[in-house]
Amino acid sequence: MTPFDVLVIGELNIDIILDDIQGFPEIGKEIMANQLNLTLGSSSAIFASNLSALGVSVAIVGLLGEDSFADSVKKSLRDKKVNTDFVVSSDRYSTGLTIVMNYGMDRANVTFPGAMEHLTVEDITDQMLLSCKHMHLSSIFLQKGIKKQAVQLFERAKSLGLTTSMDPQWDPAENWELDLGSLLPNLDVWMPNVVEFKNITGVPELTDGLEKIKEYANYVVIKDGINGAHLWDNGNLTSKPAFINNEVADCIGAGDSFDAGFISEFVKGSGLNRCLEVGNVMGAINTLEPGGTTSFKNREYIKKIAKEKFEFTL
């Protein structure tokens, strides 16, 4: 048996989250934020942490500096029972950092990439891949060292018998360049949100985008906020409604929590409709408390909240 269910490859950073901000930043002016939270950031770490909280065994691969932020990232991951043996530290780079400015249901981010840009495919050994059943990659556009060889990485994972998934996340350069024809055949589950999907496929409608990639895509899961999520499977499009929380703390990490819910069921062999529903309820639970991991103490707590708040049985 493999030691881990899922190997997560991705960026690692700290989030400094500002809330109750009095206006919008302007050059030459100063505004105030009345609330601050320093917490574990990065889509990869949020996904790994919340997947682990659901009872899935998880290891993570990433690159950090040798600084206090790196210590905080590793401690936070270990507190969530995510294995950090494959996390690499380097004195050449500083740990990445994102400043998150929250404005209701939306936010503006400023990211210093630091070490996260310098993780490469060569850092990911066959031994790491063979330690798990499933490989997940987050934030490909932030990981320049991974992006240029992503196709080879997924081909290698598939050749070693792993199932695979990827959440592309936002492209800060807004170029949206991915070799979908080479990448998607080696991805069991591709997990963009609706805006990312439209940008990457270069078309304004979901159906047109799916038509464009139908010859080489496997499962495509498209997150659509309060509209729920959509699953494309061999030409069939299924949609599941969102679970609505009317008292949103913030939406940081909601998409990553959806991913964690979906993949937690996928690696167990559950039906895809069940995967989609668990993804949706995890996204909703995420919004109950600030930050991407605060709502997810452990599986029993998550089950309790899902039942009490959303009448859903995990």
User: What is the spatial distance between Cα 125 and Cα 121, in angstroms, rounded to a whole number?
Assistant: 8
User: Hey, which CATH number is domain 4-21+34-310, 3.40.50.1360, 3.40.50.180, 3.40.1190.20, 2.40.37.10?
Assistant: 3.40.1190.20
Residue 261: per-residue pLDDT: 98
DSSP element (H, E) containing 126: helix 126-129
User: What is the spatial distance between Cα 231 and Cα 150, in angstroms, rounded to a whole number?
Assistant: 23
Residue 180: per-residue pLDDT: 97
Checking phi first, is residue 124 left (phi over 0); if not, alpha (psi -120 to 50) or beta?
beta
User: What is the spatial distance between Cα 247 and Cα 309, in angstroms, rounded to a whole number?
Assistant: 11
Residue 104: per-residue pLDDT: 74
DSSP element (H, E) containing 281: helix 272-286
Residue 136: per-residue pLDDT: 98
Residue 70: per-residue pLDDT: 96
Residue 82: per-residue pLDDT: 98
Provide the token pair at 209: 């985008």
DSSP 140: G
Kindly list the distances between the CA atom of residue 221 and the CA atoms of 57, 72, 183, 232, 294, in Å, as whole numbers in the listed order. Answer: 23, 32, 15, 6, 25
Residue-level pLDDT, tens digit, the chain, 314 residues: 789 999 999 999 999 989 899 999 999 999 999 999 888 889 999 999 999 999 999 999 999 999 999 999 999 999 999 999 999 999 999 999 999 898 877 788 899 999 999 999 999 999 999 999 999 999 999 999 999 999 999 999 999 999 999 999 999 999 999 999 999 999 999 999 999 999 999 999 999 999 999 999 999 999 999 999 999 998 899 999 999 998 888 788 899 999 999 999 999 999 999 999 999 999 999 999 988 899 999 999 999 999 999 999 99
Contact assessment for residue 142 and residue 42, using Cβ atoms and an 8 Å cutoff:
no
The residue extents of the domains of the chain are 4-21+34-310
> Can you point out the beta strands (E) in the chain?
4-9, 13-21, 33-41, 58-64, 87-89, 96-103, 106-112, 132-138, 163-167, 189-190, 219-223, 229-233, 236-240
DSSP 83: B
Query: 278 φ, ψ to 5°?
Result: -65, -35
User: What is the spatial distance between Cα 248 and Cα 82, in angstroms, rounded to a whole number?
Assistant: 27
Kindly list the distances between the CA atom of residue 271 and the CA atoms of 112, 192, 265, 267, 306, in Å, as whole numbers in the listed order. Answer: 39, 20, 8, 10, 19
Helix axes 254-266, 43-53, angle to 10 degrees: 50
Rounded to 10 degrees, what is the CA torsion of 51, 52, 53, 55? 100
Q: Which SS3 state, helix, strand or coil, does residue 267 take?
A: coil
Contact assessment for residue 237 and residue 26, using Cβ atoms and an 8 Å cutoff:
no
